[in-house]
Every structure is written in structure tokens, then in C-alpha cells.
Amino acid sequence: MRMFRFILATLLLVTIPFGVNAEEKIIKSDFKVRKNISLSAIDGSPILLNANKSFAEYQVFDFGDEGTTIILNYRLETKECGEDGKPVILENTYSWSSKRMLLGYQSQKSREEVYAVLYGDQNCSAMASNYVDGEMRWALIISSEPPQGSNFVADNIIGLDVDALRTKFIKENMPGRLSEGRKMGEYMVYDMLSIGSRKRYQSNGDYYYEANANTPYIRFYFKNGKLEKYVFLD
């Protein structure tokens, strides 16, 4: 019953609009937060976890005018055992990337907290805390339907080198091709290029749209030969 109340209270906390009896801030700068997780709700199914062996981490990459990428890494261990008599391990990496992505933070007067991954005003994922038996516990919630335009990726490509990334895209029939690299500060930057359009002006002031096969739609930043971050270009 206590855990049921925890689940219900946590879900209600996540649905409270920002600005209601809370301190809040929007995080778009580089940022990382990691919490031990007692409960997960992925695809709507609540699962009780061994909190001392379960964690979730949000990492925000700010690319200025190019956009924002938020990566979720999690490793969860269930309280209930599987058919083999051992706890089930759930681990994955998700990301969302767009100019409209942001990480919202909210702190209630009662000290409960929420970190919410938002695409505009649409919720993609959240970590929320609540009290159970006088102890603060955290829950991880992931939307079963990522918002259209959030460029959701259910794969971990951080740490790959350029050749491994190029090979992966070829095997998965990723549309487009990877550009040649160029130096940008401490990074080597590569673009995923595909078909787009650009506006061409005529001498009389009229214009038309021309197909362009070299339109970048994902930008990858490599450091010391390994992929460190990336952003989808809206």
C-alpha cells in the first residue's frame, strides 16, 4: 500500500504544471544529474527496483543556436526475480535532440523534486522524488510515445570512432552519408548529409527552391577520436 501511494504521488507530481507552488528553472546549458532509482515506469508499467543497484542519469549538451541534446542512461535492477531466480537487469540509452529540447527542474515546498525532459511543452521523460517512510525515493518515467520532432534515438553511439559510426549507419541503411571531418576548436566535426532544399534568388528578386543532396541534418562532435556529443539540426 505504501509503495502504491508512492507510485500515485510520483505520477501526480510529474503532472503538476511548472509554476504551481514550486521553484522552477529551465536547464539548457551543459549539465548532468544522476539519481538512484526505486521505481520505474517505462511504457506505462511500474516496476519496483533495488535502489542501491539502480540509477538513471540525464546529460544535457547545449549547442547554442544549433539546438540541445539530452541523453538518458539508465541501469535498473528489479526487486522481483526472473525465471532464473535472479533480478532482471534493464539498461539502455535514449536521447532526444532539437532546438525545442530542454530539461525542466521543479522543487516543491515539501522538498519533492522533478527533472523533466521536455520537447516544447510535451513530456519525454522525468525523474521525480517523493517521500516513503520518511525517506526520499526517486522514480524514472519514460513516455511510451516520443513527441514527433524530438528526434528520439534508442541507441548508445557515444564513444564510437568515425569508422564504427559510418559502418553502423551503412548496416542500418541510415539515409544520407557522413561528410569529411573539419576542425572546430577541440573537436573534429562531421555532418550527416541528406537531400534537402535551399532558396535560390533570381536577378529580378524572384526565388525558387533547389534540391540539395548535401544538407546536414545531424552534427557529430569527436574528441580524441571518439564521439562525445551530437545534435539534430532542425
Same domain, 19 and 125: yes
Whether 33 and 56 have beta carbons less than 8 Å apart is answered as no
Within a domain: 53: yes
Same domain, 17 and 68: yes
What is the grid cell recorded at 134? 520518511
234: helix, strand or coil? coil
Q: How confident is the model at residue 215 (pLDDT cuts 50, 70, 90)?
A: confident
Domain that holds residue 19: 2-142
Domains in the chain: how many in total? 2
Secondary structure of residue 188 in the 3-state scheme: strand
| 47 located within any domain | yes
**What proportion of the chain, given as a percentage, has pLDDT over 70?**
82
- In the predicted model, what is the mean pLDDT of the chain? 86
Domain-located, residue 191: yes
Of 30-34, 84-88, 93-97, 213-217, the range with the lowest mean pLDDT is 213-217
The answer as to whether 134 is a domain residue is yes
174 and 112 co-located in one domain = no
Could you read off the pLDDT of 102-116 as tens digits, one per residue?
A: 999 998 877 889 999
**Predicted pLDDT at 9:** 47
pLDDT score for 131? 81
Confidence of residue 212 (pLDDT cuts 50, 70, 90): low
**Are 113 and 191 in the same domain?**
no
Residue ending a domain, among 113, 142, 171, is 142
Residue 34 forms part of a structural domain: yes
DSSP annotation of 4 reads: H
Domain-embedded: residue 166: yes
Q: In angstroms, rounded to a whole number, what is the distance separating the alpha carbons of residues 126 and 129?
A: 10
- pLDDT, tens digit, 9 for 90 and up, residues 161-206: 999 999 999 899 888 889 999 999 999 999 999 855 455 566 666 6
> Does one domain contain both 71 and 186?
no
**pLDDT digit string (tens) for 47-87?**
999 999 999 999 999 999 999 999 999 999 999 998 899 99
- Of 56-65, 93-102, 131-140, 217-226, give the lowest mean pLDDT range: 131-140
Instruction: Please indicate, yes or no, whether residues 37 and 120 belong to a single structural domain of this protein.
Output: yes
pLDDT of residue 80: 92
Cβ contacts of 74 within 8 Å, gap of 6 or more: 37, 40, 54, 55, 56, 57, 90, 91, 92, 93, 140
Whether residues 46 and 83 fall in one domain: yes
**Assigned domain for 58 exists:** yes
Q: How far apart are CA 16 and CA 14, in angstroms?
A: 6
Q: Are 87 and 81 in contact (CB under 8 A)?
A: yes
Q: Is the pLDDT of residue 5 over 50?
A: no
Largest Cα–Cα separation, the chain: 76
Rounded to 5 degrees, φ, ψ at 8 are -65, -45
Q: Lowest-confidence range among 13-22, 57-66, 165-174, 219-228? A: 13-22
Residue 154 domain flag: no
| Same domain assignment for residues 137 and 186 | no
CB hemisphere CA count around 180 (13 angstroms)? 1
